[in-house]
């Protein structure tokens, strides 16, 4: 039945043709390093983009699948048996597309609309189905990461930073921007031939350029279908077109796609500085797992102190987070553990205890080297519950506690309640001004243990 349906779909389609690559593609430009070619492209691209007229905005379809179908440009031009084969595989293993479509539900509105804003074929928005099943946490054996599957070198070329705190390849905002930039660059590199550009996205522009050059030298056709390319790349375009065809003809093929309204799932909330994810989830009244799912670029328990300073939250919760942030001073958005250095301590050991890195501790404390001295104090960003366990490796005596400040609390009455001095309480929590206490602030206490150092 699937094979018959494929035949019906393909009836009347024309085989895509591609003009031969010009000699300019083997010019001096191609001998430049990739980074230099990308820089040249970006300069010319930004100039053209600045003067381009705005796209017309007809009334869009109510659902995202209809919007996709209305903007498919590549699929109607292709009639290849390899596409039939891939479509039959998707129909036979329909759980893959069902799972991937569910995974895409939170991100697809953003990605598709970014693609269409650039006037690119809607098939580009389907690429993460092929690359990763629309999973921003996907990782390949070749160390490609994210929904768009960037390898480290290409990620760096297109501005996706990676640090202890953050990996831009997993960030749906940053990675989508980088992927569309890369694809536009490749499309221009291969003179408007989207199939060659997409093939180059898979195996690299050098791989495709060499295949084109070999065919041209032998007097052969230089379109994608006639090139000698790696096996994975030969299957790459058929997979993408098969996904497009499946979505285009879902009803005819008996495929039940999940309903995706043409409305955004998330909103972007900008702020200054760093914030703990758990605290942000509490302010937004969003489940922490949901917040982490929408912001998979953040590797740790808090946002990156060097940015990006924004979080994605469901649309209904965005204003709540904005209001909560407006009431929460930056000094209370991240907990800082206060650690007294002991004899024999090393920065690497302290970093391991707090599940952080030496670089983070050095930067937080403005240390010029890894040398530390017993008796000195380090401030280390860490979630309150983890900081308690890490900073308090004690035996017997008192039990570490966390006190959440309520309206009317003061250092004096909190200290009296727990049987400690105000000086101890201030020292444990790096408080220099007793008037800085605010409702909702968490204080760490070590009752009956004396000096935590």
Burial class, 216, CB count within 10 angstroms (exposed 0-12 / middle 13-18 / buried 19+) = middle
**Locus of tokens 């983890």:** 386
Q: Say if CB 207 and CB 229 are below 8 A apart.
A: yes
DSSP string over 146-171? TTTTB-HHHHHHTT--B-SSBBTTT-
CA 401, CA 381: separation in Å to the nearest integer?
A: 18
Best CA proximity match to 247, nearest among 117, 121, 66, 124: 66
Total residue length of the chain = 453
Q: Which residues, at least 6 apart from 368, have a Cβ–Cβ distance to it below 8 Å?
A: 362
* Catalytic residue flag (residue 131): yes
What span, in angstroms and rounded, lies between the C-alpha atoms of 204 and 87?
25
**Could you tell me the two tokens for 161?**
């930073």
Q: Which of 75, 123, 131, 184 is catalytic?
A: 131
Residue 64's SS3 state is: helix
Helix (H) or strand (E) holding 290: helix 288-294
| Distance in angstroms (rounded) separating the CA atoms of residues 257 and 96 | 12
3-state helix, strand, coil in the chain (%, to 5): 50, 10, 40
Q: Is 57 left (phi over 0), alpha (psi -120 to 50) or beta?
A: beta
Q: Roughly how many angstroms between the first and final C-alpha of the chain, as a whole number?
A: 74
Structure tokens at 282: 């509490």
Q: Please, are residues 86 and 238 in contact by the beta-carbon 8 Å criterion?
A: yes
Find out whether 299 and 166 touch, Cβ atoms under 8 Å.
yes
CA distances from 86 to 91, 241, 278 (A): 9, 9, 43
The alpha carbon torsion through 32, 50, 151, 360 (nearest 10 deg) reads: 110
**Residues noted as catalytic:** 131
């Amino acid at each position: 039945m699937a094979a018959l349906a494929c035949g019906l779909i393909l009836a009347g389609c024309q085989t895509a043709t591609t003009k031969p690559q010009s000699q300019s593609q083997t010019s001096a430009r191609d001998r430049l390093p990739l980074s230099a070619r990308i820089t040249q492209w970006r300069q010319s691209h930004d100039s053209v983009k600045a003067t381009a007229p705005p796209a017309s905005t007809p009334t869009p379809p109510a659902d995202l699948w209809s919007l996709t179908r209305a903007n498919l440009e590549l699929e109607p031009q292709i009639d290849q048996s390899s596409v039939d084969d891939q479509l039959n595989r998707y129909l036979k293993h329909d759980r893959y597309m069902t799972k991937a479509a569910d995974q895409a539900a939170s991100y697809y509105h953003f990605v598709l609309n970014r693609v269409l804003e650039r006037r690119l074929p809607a098939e580009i928005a389907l690429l993460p189905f092929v690359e990763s099943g629309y999973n921003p946490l996907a990782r390949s054996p070749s160390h490609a990461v994210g929904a768009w599957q960037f390898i480290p070198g290409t990620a760096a070329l297109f501005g996706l930073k990676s640090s202890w705190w953050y990996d831009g390849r997993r960030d749906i905002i940053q990675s989508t921007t980088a992927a569309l930039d890369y694809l536009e660059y490749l499309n221009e590199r291969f003179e408007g031939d989207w199939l060659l550009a997409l093939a180059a996205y898979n195996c690299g522009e050098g791989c495709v350029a060499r295949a084109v050059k070999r065919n041209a030298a032998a007097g052969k056709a230089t379109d994608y279908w006639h090139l000698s390319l790696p096996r994975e790349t030969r299957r790459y375009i058929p997979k993408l077109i098969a996904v497009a065809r499946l979505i285009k003809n879902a009803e005819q093929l008996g495929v039940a796609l999940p309903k995706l309204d043409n409305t955004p799932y998330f909103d972007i909330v900008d702020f200054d500085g760093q914030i703990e994810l758990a605290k942000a989830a509490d302010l937004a009244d969003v489940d922490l797992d949901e917040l982490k799912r929408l912001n998979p670029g953040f590797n740790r328990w808090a946002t990156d102190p060097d940015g990006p300073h924004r979080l994605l939250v469901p649309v209904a919760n965005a204003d709540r987070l904005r209001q909560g942030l407006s009431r929460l001073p930056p000094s209370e958005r991240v907990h800082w553990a206060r650690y007294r250095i002991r004899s024999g301590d090393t920065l690497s050991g302290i970093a391991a205890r707090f599940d952080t890195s030496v670089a983070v501790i050095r930067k937080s404390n403005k240390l010029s080297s890894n040398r530390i001295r017993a008796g000195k104090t380090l401030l280390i960003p860490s979630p309150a519950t983890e900081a308690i366990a890490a900073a308090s490796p004690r035996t017997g005596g008192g039990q570490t506690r966390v006190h959440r400040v309520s309206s009317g609390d003061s250092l004096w009455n909190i200290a009296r309640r727990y049987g400690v001095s105000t000086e101890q309480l201030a020292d444990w929590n790096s408080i220099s001004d007793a008037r800085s206490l605010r409702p909702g602030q968490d204080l760490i206490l070590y009752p009956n243990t004396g000096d935590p150092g």
